[in-house]
Structure 1
Amino acid sequence: MAERRKVREEEIILAKHLISLGGLDPQSYQLEEMVDDYENAVMGSINFTPPEKAEYEGDIVRVIYKDIDDLPVIITLTKNVNNEILDMDFWKKDFSKLQRYPTPETVAIFDQDMI
């Protein structure tokens, strides 16, 4: 993983929205101020949890977003075994760079028939 960096406001907004979409209370989750980028920040995936607390427990919610190039991006918010936000994982259909960061109004609950 790359060097940790300060979480961006747009990432906090999206993560809190995804927590809500997952049926949970965003106020119950403290998001880390420092995060790691995955894949050299190409697709937007970030890790909220320090390595010593990174044991995956499960997905909270999976949503879909259409980037401005009209390619689908699947975003999965996960939690660790301590019920803390683990990561927000982006997967763009062609693995290309994310062109515009999603906002709450641009994501929808993922349904397998959407791609």
Structure 2
Amino acid sequence: MNERRTIREQEMTLVRHLLTLAGKNPDEINIPTQVEEYEGGKMGSINFTDFDKAPYLNDLVQVKYIDSDGTPVVITLTQNTENEILDMDFWKKDFSKLLLYPTPETVAVKDPNEMI
């Protein structure tokens, strides 16, 4: 596991927006302020709670985003079996580095049947 760090403002803003899209009130959810980057932060994925504490339960919401190089990105906010936020996972179609971090205005809810 990587070292934990303080969540960045842009990450917190996006998480709060995704929770709202998922029909949750972000003010009623404990959003951990310490996170761990996946893949050294290459694509932007972060972990909020230790998988060993409580494993993955389900996706809360999945959104799509187009990075500044035109490459589609899927962002998924997940929860664990304790109903805590588990991670915010970024998947860039070509697996390249995320160039521009998304903002609430630049993401849209992804249709579950839509292929990216």
- Scaled to the shorter chain, the TM-score interval is over 0.9
- Does the Cα contact within 8 Å between 2:4 and 2:34 map onto a contact in 1? yes
CA distance in 2, matches of 1:4, 1:58: 23
Question: Does 2:78 align with 1:83?
Answer: no
Helix, strand or coil at the partner of 2:60: strand
Q: Deviations over 1:67-107 (max 9, x none)?
A: 00010000000011111111000000000000000000000
Look up the match of 2:114: 113
> Equivalents in 2 of 1:69, 1:101: separation in Å?
12
Give the superposition deviation at 1:50: 2.9
**Contact persistence 2:44–2:89 (CA under 8 A):** yes
Partner of 1:100: 100
Alignment of 1:11-90 (within 5 A): 11-90=11-90
The answer to whether the Cα contact below 8 Å between 2:65 and 2:108 also exists between their aligned partners in 1 is: yes
Unaligned ranges ≥5, structure 1: none
State TM-score, norm by structure 1.
Answer: 0.94
Where structure 2 has 5 or more consecutive residues not aligned to the other structure, the ranges are none
Answer with 88-97 or 23-32: which moved more.
Answer: 23-32
Sequence identity, in percent?
A: 57
Q: Which runs of 4+ in 1 moved over 4 A?
A: none
Number of equivalenced pairs? 115
Q: CA offset at residue 62 of structure 1?
A: 0.2
The Cα RMSD (Å) is 1.2
TM-score, reference length from structure 2: 0.93
